[in-house]
Amino acid sequence: MASRLRKEGREKLTGRSQYVDDLRLPGHPEVLHGTTVRSPVARGTLKAVRFGGSIPWKDFVIVTAKDIPAIGGKNAIAHILHDQPCLVDEQINHPEEAIVLLAHPDRFLLEEARRHVTFEIDPLPAVFTIEKSLLKDPVIWGKDNTFKEFTIEKGDVDGVWQTADLIVEGEYHTGAQEQLYIEPNGMIAVANANEGVTVWGSMQCPYYVHHALTHLFALPDDKVRVIQAETGGGFGGKEDYPSMIACHAALLAWKAGKPVKIIYDRAEDLAATTKRHPSSTRHRTAVSRDGKLLAMDIDFLLDGGAYMTISTVVLSRGGIHAAGPYECPNVRIHARALATNSPPYGAFRGFGAPQSLFALERHMDEIAAKVGLAPEELRRRNFLQEGKATATGQIIREKLDLPKLLDSALQSSEFIKKRKAFQEANQDPANPIKRGMGLSTFMHGAGFTGSGEKMLASVAAVEATPAGTVRVLASNTEIGQGQRTVFAQLVADALGIDFDLVEVVQPDTKIVPNSGPTVASRTTMIVGKLVETAAISLRQTLIQSGCLAKTYTTAEFRKACGEYLSKLGALKCFSQYQQPGHIDWDDQKYRGDAYGTFAWAVYVAEVSVDLRTYEAQVDHFTAVQEIGKVVHPVLAAGQIEGGVLQGIGYALSEEVQLRNGRMANNRLTNYIIPTAADAPDIKVIFAENPYPHGPQGAKGIGELPLDGVAPAVLNAVAMALGPEAASRIHSIPLLPESLMKALDGAAESVKGERS
């Protein structure tokens, strides 16, 4: 396939792209600045708000929870359960919870005023860890601190333990991770009783924001308009949180009678917005002497933070992926999302799968060591294949060849040759640099889990213009991943016209239909297919009208569009999602086809560990994946490379330091992400296997590359350091301090055995 130039590339390169903070509203010469005053405690009861200092408070727009009933709305951010208030009324549940909103023309005076708002609060006992939440002392949410709980069962797990040759147990932990998009969250709102609410902002899901605003203001759909501004990245971090900041900006604008802009600085964005859920996973696995998996008993726990938000669906994906790409006759996965008094956790690329797959793939290396098999051989003996069933009972219907992906990764990375050489070199006690090779094998479901896509019933459209160009209408957003380019390419290919004749319309809920959110590795596979189908329908309409012959040039197509519109009126073709007939899912029992298809991958990390500084670094990385048909090779490779680098940060450096529920290191000086200088050589290899229900055979790709990076890296570190240290490397991020503890503990263990 050809790799077309990015649709938005020229505007971004020349600086003409308008991000939310660049926007100026015609007819509104004055735009107020807005800010949020947040709780200083993790949990408590709000008694009073005080406005002090020598601040001219009469010049400020001030909004509290008491203003919301005045507009007839409901004090909640509408999403799944509506459990999160827009503003604190009485009960405080996390230390960044919004209590007061302020607006003023002078943003410097606004910041000074924010510092002089104080609260009288009766503090309450708080919960900050999964372990404390499980104790239910205190109960901070619902009846028992549980947002959601489910069990996936296949076969008879309990009937295996007595006869198994070997039982391997392990416990694994992952920390929070910040999305760290380039552009912080921001919104501009215009709101009044006559015209309703209009917001412009940085976001992934315009219709999520639309839903939240109609709920908060009790307005009909046509009185709320949401327009995506150019958006500087998302990675899931702009899935649900933009609803919060949009509601805040709109409340201030409604009361002020003027537009209000809220733009977070980096410190506030890091501290207050959603992050990847921390997790704790326990594995108990029964294995035969020849390395066959007999039973898998998995307890998967997520820290959801103070409110449910989207933790339930993150838990679903994480739980479903917890057994990985392996065929095992007996599986039990017990999954729970729990409440704590930290800011709510949310979506991040991978959406629960990086947590559960980290635990599984690290555990698989532990099993291999106990059985006496090479890690790659243990995986090879247990791979899923066509006709076999996943943990949910989903039968693999595609021609799956994981051994071929594994062989490709091993050969390309020189895995076996390098492992042998490294093991020999690592024996030299005078050499402070130890090197290792590690791998992971995994998959990622494309599209919404279970019946999610069916319930969304997404719609996309294409329309012809009098000039003979074609406009693509969908609510999916360009956030740096190349959505505009891929949609334009799919339409151009379907119509057989020049790529430059296709325009992808900026999402605006007044103009584009609801094609669902830009999440879940669904944009190309699900919505791209709708766009492609709508384009084919447009072509057929032109042909059937007699305006266009079956074979035509681009010039003839353009002429036909003008002729059709002048004679017959508008030409707009819609396409709505229809669930493929092979998908059968039980939402209550977690049984059946969890996804229409999976993307599959084998990743190999080559690392070095400096025993003088306790630093681990990735030197080379090989990523082999099957994602159906590759539509745009350059963009696809970029997705893999970016995901790998984010995964390296997740594994080795990105630690969210929480103190009493608040992020203490909310600066780029102390929240450490990999930079270009830290990026290893990344070799990207695609194995194509077209999926019949994706456009041109494509599957989803966006989340897959982050899923398997961390376990491959830690498996490589474990190999470099030897079995004693390896048994202590079960948590990420693996910071130098963590590595020091693992090595010191291993040394003490060896010393104890010798004595």
pLDDT tens column, 550-598 = 999 999 999 999 999 999 999 999 999 999 998 999 999 999 999 999 9
Q: Is residue 419 a part of any domain in this protein?
A: yes
Q: Residue 57: pLDDT above 60?
A: yes
Strand, coil or helix: 595: coil
Q: State the pLDDT confidence band at 477, using cuts at 50, 70 and 90.
A: very high
Say yes or no: 429 and 471 in one domain: no
Mean pLDDT of 170-178: 98
Whether 382 shows a pLDDT value over 60: the answer reads yes
CATH number at residue 73: 3.90.1170.50
Whether residues 691 and 628 fall in one domain: yes
What confidence score (pLDDT) does residue 474 get?
Answer: 98
Q: pLDDT (tens digit, 9 = 90+) per residue, 391-431?
A: 999 999 999 999 999 999 999 999 999 999 999 999 999 99
Q: Is the pLDDT of residue 750 over 60?
A: no
**pLDDT tens, residue by residue, 64-111:** 999 998 888 899 999 999 999 999 999 999 999 999 999 999 999 999
Q: Above 80 in pLDDT, residue 199?
A: yes
* Same domain assignment for residues 460 and 428: no
Q: Is residue 529 part of a domain?
A: yes
Under 8 Å between Cβ of 246 and 209:
yes
Helix axes 353-371, 311-320, angle to 10 degrees: 30
Place of tokens 């999916």: 476
Domain edge (last residue) among 272, 301, 330: 272
Query: Which residues touch 715 (CB under 8 Å, ≥6 apart)?
Result: 361, 362, 365, 375, 436, 438, 439, 440, 605
Q: How many angstroms separate the CA atoms of 459 and 267, rounded?
A: 38
253 and 105 assigned to the same domain: yes
Do both 603 and 565 map to the same domain? no
Mean pLDDT of the chain: 97
Euclidean distance between CA atoms 753 and 85, whole angstroms: 56
* Helical H segments across 115-172, by residue range: 130-135
For the cut 90, the answer to whether the pLDDT of residue 273 exceeds it is yes
Q: Quick one: 626 and 516 in the same domain? A: no
Any domain includes 120: yes
Residue 649 included in any domain: yes
Residue 226 belongs to a domain? yes
Look at residue 204 and tell me if it is in a domain: yes
* Cα separation, 604 vs 715, whole angstroms: 9
CA 288 to chain centre: 36
Q: What is the model's pLDDT at position 751? A: 55
Domain presence at residue 735: yes
Q: Count how many domains the chain has.
A: 3
Residue range 377-383: mean pLDDT, rounded: 98
The average pLDDT across 25-34 equals 94
Average pLDDT over residues 462-487: 98
Among 272, 290, 309, the domain boundary falls at 272
Q: Are residues 97 and 230 in the same domain?
A: yes
Q: Are residues 416 and 502 in the same domain?
A: no
Do 418 and 544 lie in a common domain?
no
Q: What does the pLDDT read at residue 73?
A: 84
User: Residue 435: pLDDT above 90?
Assistant: yes
- Average pLDDT on 146-159 reads 98
Residue 1 confidence class, pLDDT cut points 50, 70, 90: low
Residue after which a domain boundary falls, among 544, 576, 608? 576
Same-domain check for residues 671 and 699: yes
- Specify the pLDDT at position 747: 64
Q: Give the model's pLDDT for residue 755.
A: 45
Would you say residue 289 has pLDDT above 60? yes
Residue 745: the pLDDT is 79
- What is the extent of the structural domain holding 231? 19-125+181-272
189 and 66 housed in the same domain: yes
Answer whether residue 736 is part of any domain.
Answer: yes
pLDDT, tens only, 690-727: 999 999 999 999 999 999 999 999 999 999 999 988 88
Do 614 and 715 share a domain, yes or no? Answer: yes
Q: In sequence order, what are the residues at sequence separation of 6 or more whose Cβ sits closer than 8 angstroms to the Cβ of residue 458? A: 514, 515, 516, 526, 527, 530, 576, 577
CATH of the domain at 518: 3.30.365.10
Alpha-carbon torsion angle 707, 713, 716, 718, nearest 10: -100
Strands ordered across the beta sheet of 459-464: 502-504, 470-473, 459-464, 572-576
* pLDDT value for 368: 98
- Average pLDDT for 620-629: 98
